Structure 1
């Protein structure tokens, strides 16, 4: 039985998706979660699963509205099926990378040629930057996949309509992925693809295609998918809009005072270094393409504008993270693939140099994962309780002067932990760190926040109770808290330690002041 053209396309797409997922996921469970980012987002997903509240993302039991919930929904659902571990925690990023790669393959097979499509995807999935990010449990790769799919589907709809082909399904898909992008990381899931598509229409003189952005059925789809969660959160928490939209979008983009401030040109060396050795083909192409260049095609313009828009947009704010520019990698992979013939000074035998480049790049991908697994280990990962020791259901857990994002996930804690430090506003606002995250979250549920966020001077109230408390803090915490000498040291690493404090059967508030009153058990 001969397969139709559509059936073959579906089979090719399914095979491509399976291959991408297998390659991107093969080492995803080999290394522990990195703090703060991976441990934070995996912890929120774990708490969503543990607590059964699939609407409100929570960090240590408190509403965490830095980002929307799509990553947490996918990760928590994967944990429900596979159990709480590193692999399901990273599944959203793997899926985002697979969507970007598959979308690039299908788009280029239709609007460029099969050879360019295959080479572009080979470049993409063997680029160390892309590969490692696909195995990193944060929101950047997921939104990169959504943005890529939105741009490619919108361009496909425009090109199809120009040739009299069916276009509405592709445009509807673009709006669906834009909605998912909004649920993945906020307004950039809609604004960035829209800006890229608009700039492409202007550059290629497709003025009529601009009106596709106002297609009413598409906006109905987008609002129906992305709108309900935001409406429910605003109804439940009146301060949600100001915090999520104004603070986390506009203030973070325009203001200083947030973490990771870097100069405007920061992403140029980042992209150049993390896309080696493939980026070298672009350098060779510049030297080899001195003579008559062919005019840019519509696809060339799309990829060039797409790449530049992403890099320029994220270069403007002072706060920059490496993963922000991941949406620029699919078009960059195409530009590299297109540069290969020019770098070789004509259509010659390319299999050997390309094969060596792909092999070297693939080895660098695996080496990067191995390096992170061995050398980038957070303090909390070394804190493992002895085999015969466990946190009982009625015990408390309290972190001293630190918040170890990875521990609730690693220890599979049943309840949020208390965190004791100086919670005065002057201290909290000094840095954009775990204190500020937890303090901001507590504003949405102040009563619960007052229970979980313990000022150091209230430690008596938290610890002088008739149940045991597991204390986690810096290994030298006894210098700041001499009463820790009364507790039993359970586990220790170079940076952090765990103690068990028996409490006070009589609830005597002096249990931290008089050694011996609350002897450890």
Structure 2
């Protein structure tokens, strides 16, 4: 039952609120370049999907990239088909995930709790720096967090509605559809985590209806019809798909200690506490008294149980493996926001709280924007600033080669329509177990070896590729000239911090010795570099 109060609390307009949520999340999505490696990687894969016209197979440098399913790339490629390769379009999948998460939380609490709880929980969520930055980051974590959150809330809403004799089938069908989206966003966790939350909620509240709804046949038809075709198509086209995508990327990664970013079990506790300030500080404020009898409320409602179990499942699940990334725990933010809002409102008069809530909201919103600005100023990878001079661009017949490294942002910012050549020691890459660009590309090469042979060039076999009658644009560390003295024959066209770009004219006669050291340079002498051109202000 709604309590009387100010119009802000009692006259909601859900549609306008949801529009405002997306506007808030979009407001700063364009202000900073893509970060390496994640944003450059996922943005470039989405752009490659658009350019290639192959909307089934995600490709990294032209090779099948099955680290994750395609939903993120579908959304990003669709957006860039309208806008071109711009940052906010690359981040749109994350913004949609965040907006879905916030809207689902508001609508669920509006129906099954109080309007005050719904509004404050939503405000807490969208002004939490962790949530806001996650929505501004072009990787898969926020998109799957939105799918997981919507699945949990729709399924819980369906269970509560059925108990009360209200319409529930549309809600449950929506839950299965969002579970399918979670599968297409990041794999099995899109189904497993909501299932774990709901089963434990069923056990804690003795809602056997949840188990019945989990076996609802029409829902499984919806899920399989939405998510199944892509997985079946990939398995039929690539027989190794199941082993790589399911066994390696899910179970081996979860259990292994050989991957990067190892952290202790308790890692996510301080992450959640620090990155949700200033709202998390309310957890330290003593709970107020209940308005009716002056005693604190002790009995948990069905919604309370759902939020506590949801928070615990996400944090514990991602704390088990040794490899941990901050963004993994984003699905825990909606229940945490709800519990913080509950602590703020507990036994306190809203009219007296409003000034403090407005102040906290304002501080939190300013902190969100400040975090984006700080990232824009201090975390810009060199590849995003490596621009070609005015009047120079990669022509359709030109080839691009990266030397001893792969810069994910270059295909995005240069708007390349063809895969680049990558020069490296690929025999050594076969034994590399670390998570890095080399392992990602080498793993992708196993699915299409013939295509890989044309793009992955051993550093000892450069002459047959470069000594041809076509222009090659070379990108690599500026120190590449020390190990590749033939770069003295190339035109240095751009430099930014530690990386550079050269233009190599090739050989009109296919001279196999075109990479020989220039005759004018004595043996062992350093090859002088041409003057560095003035930086351009136009992306090519």
Normalised by the length of structure 2, the TM-score is: 0.91
**1:72 matched to which residue of 2?**
73
**2:480 matched to which residue of 1?**
477
Is contact 2:36–2:381 with CA below 8 Å preserved after alignment? Answer: yes
Q: How does 1:150-161 map onto structure 2 within 5 Å?
A: 150-161=151-162
Is contact 1:428–1:439 with CA below 8 Å preserved after alignment? Answer: no
**2:28 matched to which residue of 1?**
27
Is contact 2:429–2:442 with CA below 8 Å preserved after alignment? Answer: no
1: distance between equivalents of 2:444 and 2:101?
33
**1:6 matched to which residue of 2?**
none
Q: How does 1:239-388 map onto structure 2 within 5 Å?
A: 239-285=240-286, 292-342=296-346, 349-388=352-391
1: distance between equivalents of 2:316 and 2:88?
33
* Structure 2, unaligned runs of 5 or more: 1-9, 521-528, 531-540
* CA RMSD in angstroms, aligned pairs only: 2.0
1: distance between equivalents of 2:285 and 2:423?
56
> What displacement does 1:260 show?
1.1
**1:202 matched to which residue of 2?**
203
**1:445 matched to which residue of 2?**
448
* Residues 253-283 of structure 1 deviation map (CA, whole Å, 9 limit, x = unaligned): 1111112111111111111110000000011
Is contact 1:486–1:516 with CA below 8 Å preserved after alignment? Answer: no
Is contact 1:285–1:340 with CA below 8 Å preserved after alignment? Answer: no
* Higher mean displacement: 233-242 or 13-22: 13-22
**2:403 matched to which residue of 1?**
400
> What displacement does 1:160 show?
0.6
**1:5 matched to which residue of 2?**
none
Count of aligned positions: 510
Q: Secondary structure at the match of 2:387?
A: coil
* Structure 1, unaligned runs of 5 or more: 1-8
> What displacement does 1:14 show?
2.0
* Residues 375-433 of structure 1 deviation map (CA, whole Å, 9 limit, x = unaligned): 10101012111112111211110000110000000001121100001111466514210
Is contact 2:402–2:420 with CA below 8 Å preserved after alignment? Answer: yes
* Residues 329-381 of structure 1 deviation map (CA, whole Å, 9 limit, x = unaligned): 00100000000134x86767101111111000000000001001111010101
> What displacement does 1:516 show?
5.7
2: distance between equivalents of 1:76 and 1:278?
35
Q: How does 1:50-69 map onto structure 2 within 5 Å?
A: 50-69=51-70
2: distance between equivalents of 1:345 and 1:223?
47
1: distance between equivalents of 2:508 and 2:189?
54
**1:133 matched to which residue of 2?**
134
Q: 2:415 aligns with which of 402, 409, 412?
A: 412
> What displacement does 1:83 show?
1.8
Q: How does 1:5-16 map onto structure 2 within 5 Å?
A: 12-16=13-17
Q: 1:156 to 1:389 in 2, by over 3 A?
A: same
Is contact 1:428–1:435 with CA below 8 Å preserved after alignment? Answer: no
> What displacement does 1:285 show?
3.4
* Higher mean displacement: 473-482 or 399-408: 473-482
Q: Identify, as 1 or 2, the structure richer in helix.
A: 1
> What displacement does 1:489 show?
0.6
2: distance between equivalents of 1:131 and 1:487?
44
> What displacement does 1:503 show?
1.2
Q: How does 1:39-188 map onto structure 2 within 5 Å?
A: 39-188=40-189
> What displacement does 1:82 show?
1.8
Normalised by the length of structure 1, the TM-score is: 0.95
Q: 1:403 to 1:288 in 2, by over 3 A?
A: farther
> What displacement does 1:208 show?
3.4
Is contact 2:159–2:209 with CA below 8 Å preserved after alignment? Answer: no
Q: Secondary structure at the match of 1:318?
A: coil
Q: Secondary structure at the match of 1:399?
A: strand
